[in-house]
Structure 1
Amino acid sequence: MHTYAIGDIHGHLDQLMRLHDRIAADQARHGSAPIVHIGDLVDRGPDSRGVVDFLMTGFARGEDWVVLKGNHDRMFALYLTDYTAQDPGLRSEFSWLHPRLGGVQTLASYGVKNAGERPLAPLAREAIAAVPASHRAFLAALPTSYQRGDAIFVHAGIRPGVALQDQTETDLVWIREPFLSDTRDHGALVVHGHTAIDTPTHYGNRLNIDSSAAYGGPLSAVVIEGRDVFHLTEAGRIAIHP
């Protein structure tokens, strides 16, 4: 049994489509399997709307895809529900429209221009009108975890020592410490993104696949068989060892 996973997308539709082509070629050799998207579909990159459209279209035609909720997806959905609300995982000095977060680029992909320079209330009204209701419903309904075989897929990580069913959504989409430095076995390999690194890295108890697409790095895909992991490259599968 194998499972594919794709790291934090952040609006990079072109890279996402290339990885799906690469996965399709691997499936032709090894058999079909679910494809898990680890979250952060939106923000920072140029085509968040296109990413959401692509994934929704795949679901509509019955693709065996899983799309998890990332913190950026949750912030976007929250903004469209109440633009004055603050995500509990976000530091109080920031908002989703802060230049470091990427909300401005997401709204631009929906045709809402110059979002960082406009009064908040009329901007929010325009944003709500510009984002299709189907997109809002899709983002709001994204699950926060998926388990298959020996792997648990979440966006950010888990609270160590807490059963999966007892994890909070905020931890699943926002956590870094104490998860990143915890070396204990979590009962399954935790596959996550959220913390940007250079290349997919296997730490024994967890696998980080956020290879910094949000910051100019590549989007990455991996194949997981039990606890064996392979980076899916143009040259084929390359084993990733702890």
Structure 2
Amino acid sequence: MIGRLGNKRGSSASSINLRPMQVEMKPERPFYAIGDIHGCLDQLHAALNRVDDDVEALNIDDPTLVFLGDYVDRGPASAQVLEELIQLSLSDPDAVVCLMGNHERMMLDFLDDPLKAGPQWLKFGGRETLESYGITGVDAEAGKEQLYEACEELWDAMPEGTEAWLRHLPLHWSTGNMHCVHAGLDPVASIKQQSQDVMLWGSNAFLKTPRSDGNWVVHGHTIVDKPIWENSRISLDTGCYFTGELTAAAFTSNTCRIL
């Protein structure tokens, strides 16, 4: 039960409905999706509260909780967010799904090859992730020795099992005609014929071309002013690390509710 996993903290939840659907949503089981967290622990707790309250208020039976990736970087508490998500997912892997985002991929690339991957990762939020593990003074201009040293310190600082958990994160999760992914799906390819690059990094075609096969794609990655759905896409990344707004959406029938 998501309410138990979420460790209720006593907040209340409210919901709004979005615009009418062009294609009916037909999930085979109820689920909740949470957008890009980016190291924002307080907002994660608040979103879990809203999900817990919704499950309890509507007596939702056996829902799945799906996180859409990008748990690390930019915000101040990446290490703590990862620790909480790992505990949630391991406590009930059938009820909690954590997808991989491009920022998890960049973190893993840094661990594998700090000299090659470090400057880009540090430029796009890796510095804040290192700081959350107590590793300071490293930025995108760091030299070779500093990058290697920071990588070794990160290996030492991460709790046992963190790196393996990150490497085994799935790229997508589906139920019925609803497909959750971090960045996007190629609109002209079948659901089963998707590239890792598009799922992690998105594409212009995904943002411009509606699907024509009756499927919906629930995603993060691309920041929107407010959660929207249109043209077979449901966009839930509301830029939590600078807006303070972490979006949680409920898919409990043939509609979407923003909690």
Residue 137 of structure 1 and its aligned partner are, at CA, apart by 0.8
Residue 132 of structure 1 and its aligned partner are, at CA, apart by 2.7
Residue 2 of structure 1 and its aligned partner are, at CA, apart by 2.0
Structure 1 Cα separation of the partners of residues 211 and 171 of structure 2: 22
Residues 47 and 59 (structure 1), Cα distance of their counterparts in 2 relative to 1, 3 Å cut: same
Give, as a single letter, the amino acid of the residue that structure 2 aligns with 1:111: G
1:104 aligns with 2:127: yes
Runs of 4+ aligned residues of structure 1 deviating over 6 Å after TM superposition are none
Structure 2 Cα separation of the partners of residues 193 and 62 of structure 1: 23
1:73 aligns with 2:104: yes
- Report the count of equivalent residues: 224
Give, as a single letter, the amino acid of the residue that structure 1 aligns with 2:210: T
Structure 1 Cα separation of the partners of residues 197 and 160 of structure 2: 24
Aligned to 2:16: none
- 8 Å contact from structure 1 (residues 36, 67) kept in 2: yes
Aligned to 1:188: 215
Aligned to 2:197: 170
What RMSD, in angstroms, separates the aligned Cα atoms of the two structures?
1.8
1:157 aligns with 2:184: yes
Residues 169 and 67 (structure 1), Cα distance of their counterparts in 2 relative to 1, 3 Å cut: same
- 8 Å contact from structure 2 (residues 179, 218) kept in 1: yes
Task: Decide which of 51, 64, 68 is 1:34's aligned counterpart.
Answer: 64
Structure 2 Cα separation of the partners of residues 161 and 214 of structure 1: 32
Task: Decide which of 115, 125, 131 is 2:138's aligned counterpart.
Answer: 115
Richer in helix (by share): 2
- 8 Å contact from structure 1 (residues 157, 172) kept in 2: yes
Q: What SS is found at the alignment partner of 1:27?
A: helix
- Relative contact order higher in (CA < 8 Å, ≥ 6 apart): 2
Q: What SS is found at the alignment partner of 1:146?
A: strand
Residue 121 of structure 1 and its aligned partner are, at CA, apart by 1.9
Residue 127 of structure 1 and its aligned partner are, at CA, apart by 1.9
Residue 81 of structure 1 and its aligned partner are, at CA, apart by 1.8
1:212 aligns with 2:242: no
TM-score, normalising length from structure 1?
A: 0.87
Q: Gaps spanning 5+ residues in structure 2: where? A: 1-28
Structure 1 Cα separation of the partners of residues 131 and 46 of structure 2: 23
Q: Gaps spanning 5+ residues in structure 1: where? A: 88-93, 233-242
Residue 125 of structure 1 and its aligned partner are, at CA, apart by 1.8
Q: What SS is found at the alignment partner of 1:58?
A: helix
Structure 2 Cα separation of the partners of residues 135 and 107 of structure 1: 14
